[in-house]
Amino acid sequence: MIRKTHPELGDPAAGNGILSRRVFLEGTLVVGATGAGLSCGSAEPLAVQPWMKVPGPGFAGYGQPSPFESKVVKVFPPPPNPPGVGASRTPLHMLEGMITPSGLHFERSHSGVPEIDPDQHRLVIHGLVKRPLVFTVEALSRYPMQSRIAFIECGGNSLALNAPQAQPLNVAAIHGLLGCSEWTGVRLSTLLDEAGIEPEARWVIAEGADAAAMSRSIPLTKAMDDALLCLYQNGERVRPSNGYPVRLLLPGFEGNMNVKWLRRLKLTAGPAMTKDETSKYTILLKDEKAWQFVFPIEVKSVITRPSPGLALRGPGFYEISGLAWSGNGSIRQVDVSADGGRSWAPAALQGPILPKAPVRFRTAWQWNGGPAVLQSRATDDTGMVQPTRAQFAAERGFRGVYHYNAIASWRIDEMGEASNVYA
Ligand SMILES: Nc1nc2c(c(=O)[nH]1)N[C@H]1C(S)=C(S)[C@@H](COP(=O)(O)O)O[C@H]1N2
Ligand SMILES: [Mo]
C-alpha cells in the first residue's frame, strides 16, 4: 500500500507506478514519496566482525576489485572461436554512473590483441600531405593533449534484437558492446596541420597494427573536427585490448572506425573501400537497398536496472536506471514507461550531460507486484527520437545487422524476474 505523505512526489507521473522525477531532482523524500523505507533490521549495537579484530593486509602495486565482486566480469562465448576473434561484452547491468572501468570496457577484435612494444611502434602520416611524418609513441606524448569522455559502441551492438523471436538474453548479451572512458591524447588535426594537407585530400585511411590490419576510411572533416589519437584511457595508458599504445577515437562514430593499435594514416581523395567497410558495416535495408558509410551512432537508450538476472524483491520502491547516448550530440530527454509504452514520464538526467557520451537516467517506480513492461526512449539535441521497434522495422527491416537502436523492453513478471520481450 502506498502511503502518500508527500502527495506531489508520490503522485504517479505515468501509468503502472512511475513517479515524478522530483524524487531525484529534489534528492529527498523517497520514503515520503512512496511510503517505503528500505532499511533492514534494528539499530541495536552492531556486531564486531572479524575484520575489525586484526589489521588487514598491506598495499598492492595495482588495485583489484573486492573478491566479493568476482561476478562483475565481461562475458564472451567459449572456444572453439579462433583465439581473439569476436567480442567480450561489458556487464552494463552491474555498473553505475557513466564511465566503464578500463578492465570491463568491451572488446571487439578482428584478429586478437597484438602485443605491441611501444618503443618499436611507429605511426606514419602520408599520402596527400606536403610532409609525410613518422612518430614514435614518445614523440606523440610530447604534443599538447586533451581529455574527453566519449562512448564507443560497436555498430553490431543489440544485433540480438533483430531476431524474429525475443531471445532469453540479459543486458550484457544484448547491449554489452558499449563502453565509455575518459580518453586523453593528441588531436589528429594538430598532426595533420603539421603534415600539411594537400587540397585534393578528402579522406583519411586509418590502419591498425593487428594481424587483421583493420582499416577504415574516415572523412577528413571528421579527422579535423574532434578526432583524438588516444594514449590514455581513464587516466592510465590505453589497455592493450582497447588499442595500446595508441588508438583513434572518433567521438560518436560506430565502434569499428575507432581503429586500435593505430599505425598508419593515409590521406586520399576518395574512400579506400577496405575489406572492413565493404564486407561488413554496410546496412542492408528491407528492400534491395543498402546504406554504406553510416558513421554516427543514432540516439539510443537501455534500462540497465531492473533487467534480466536482477530480480525485484517484492513490491515497493525501485529506481529504474539506465544509459542514454547519441553519436550526433547530447541527450536532451529520456522518457520511461512501465506499461509497455502506453504512458511515459521524463526521467531525471544525471550530469554532466556531454555530447557523444552516455548519460545516466533515473526514474522512481512504485512496483505494485503485477506484470509490467519497462521501456526507455531517448531524444537527442538534434531532435532525433529513439524509434519503436515497429517504426525501426518499417524503415529498415531486420536484415540490417548494424545500428539497431529501437526502444527495448524488459517484461517484469509477478515474481519480479525481468526478461527480454518485444512489445
Ligand atoms: N586495429 C583494429 N581496430 C579496431 C578493431 C580491430 O579488430 N582492429 N575492432 C573495431 C571494432 S569492430 C570496434 S567495435 C572497436 C571496439 O573497441 P574496443 O575493443 O576498445 O571496445 O574497435 C575497432 N577498432
Ligand atoms: Mo564493431
Amino acid at 3: R
Tell me if 208 CB under 6 Å of ligand 1.
Answer: yes
Q: Are residues 232 and 307 in the same domain?
A: no
The model's confidence at residue 2, banded by pLDDT at 50, 70 and 90, is: very low
Tell me if 261 CB under 6 Å of ligand 1.
Answer: yes
More confident residue, 21 or 236: 236
Work out the percent of the chain whose per-residue pLDDT is above 90: 86
**Residue pair 376/347 in contact by the 8 Å Cβ criterion:** yes
In CATH, what number is assigned to the domain containing residue 221?
A: 3.90.420.10
The Å distance, Cα 372 to ligand 2 centre, comes to 33
- For the question of whether the overall pTM of this predicted structure is more than 0.85, the answer is yes
Residues whose CB is less than 8 angstroms from the CB of residue 388 and which lie 6 or more positions away in sequence, other chains included? 341, 406, 407
Q: Long-range contact list for 24-32, CB < 8 A, 24+ apart?
A: 24/348, 24/362, 24/364, 25/348, 30/317, 30/364, 31/5, 32/5, 32/6
Minimum mean pLDDT range among 66-70, 96-100, 104-108, 281-285: 281-285
**Residue pair 248/231 in contact by the 8 Å Cβ criterion:** no
Minimum mean pLDDT range among 33-42, 165-174, 281-290, 404-413: 33-42
Is 80 inside a domain boundary? no
* Ligand with the closest atom to the CA of 102: 1
Q: Which atom of ligand 1 is nearest to the CA of 210?
A: 1
Tell me if 248 CB under 6 Å of ligand 1.
Answer: no
Q: Are residues 266 and 117 in the same domain?
A: yes
Is 27 inside a domain boundary? no
* Ligand with the closest atom to the CA of 110: 1
**Residue pair 154/174 in contact by the 8 Å Cβ criterion:** no
pLDDT in the model for residue 377: 98
Within 13 Å and on the Cβ side, how many CA atoms surround 263? 17
Amino acid at 254: E
Dist. CA 221–CA 275, nearest whole Å: 22
Residue 209 pLDDT exceeds 70: yes
Q: How far apart are the first and last CA of the chain?
A: 28
Dist. CA 94–CA 104, nearest whole Å: 10
**Residue pair 190/144 in contact by the 8 Å Cβ criterion:** yes
The Å distance, Cα 341 to ligand 2 centre, comes to 30
Q: Are residues 325 and 200 in the same domain?
A: no
In CATH, what number is assigned to the domain containing residue 393?
A: 2.60.40.650
Dist. CA 406–CA 160, nearest whole Å: 12
pLDDT in tens, 359-393: 999 999 999 999 999 999 999 999 999 999 999 99
Q: Which atom of ligand 1 is nearest to the CA of 262?
A: 1
CA distances to 8, 193, 233, 257 from 325, in Å? 30, 31, 19, 18
From the CB of residue 52, how many other CB atoms can be counted at a distance below 10 Å? 9
* Domain count for the chain: 2
Q: Which atom of ligand 1 is nearest to the CA of 108?
A: 19
Q: Are residues 262 and 351 in the same domain?
A: no
pLDDT in tens, 116-136: 999 999 999 999 999 999 999
Is 165 inside a domain boundary? no
Q: Which of 75, 177, 182, 214 most suits a substitution to test ligand 1, by most atoms within 8 Å of the C-beta?
A: 214
Q: Are residues 210 and 315 in the same domain?
A: no
In the 8-state DSSP scheme, what is residue 256?
G
Cell (9 digits) for 162 = 533483430
Dist. CA 368–CA 339, nearest whole Å: 12
By residue range, what is the domain housing residue 142? 108-150+181-273
Q: Which atom of ligand 1 is nearest to the CA of 155?
A: 14
Q: Are residues 401 and 258 in the same domain?
A: no
Instruction: Tell how strand 348-350 and strand 359-367 pair up.
Output: antiparallel
CA distances to 41, 305, 312 from 319, in Å? 22, 8, 11
Ligand 1, atom 6: nearest CA belongs to which residue? 109
Is 409 inside a domain boundary? yes
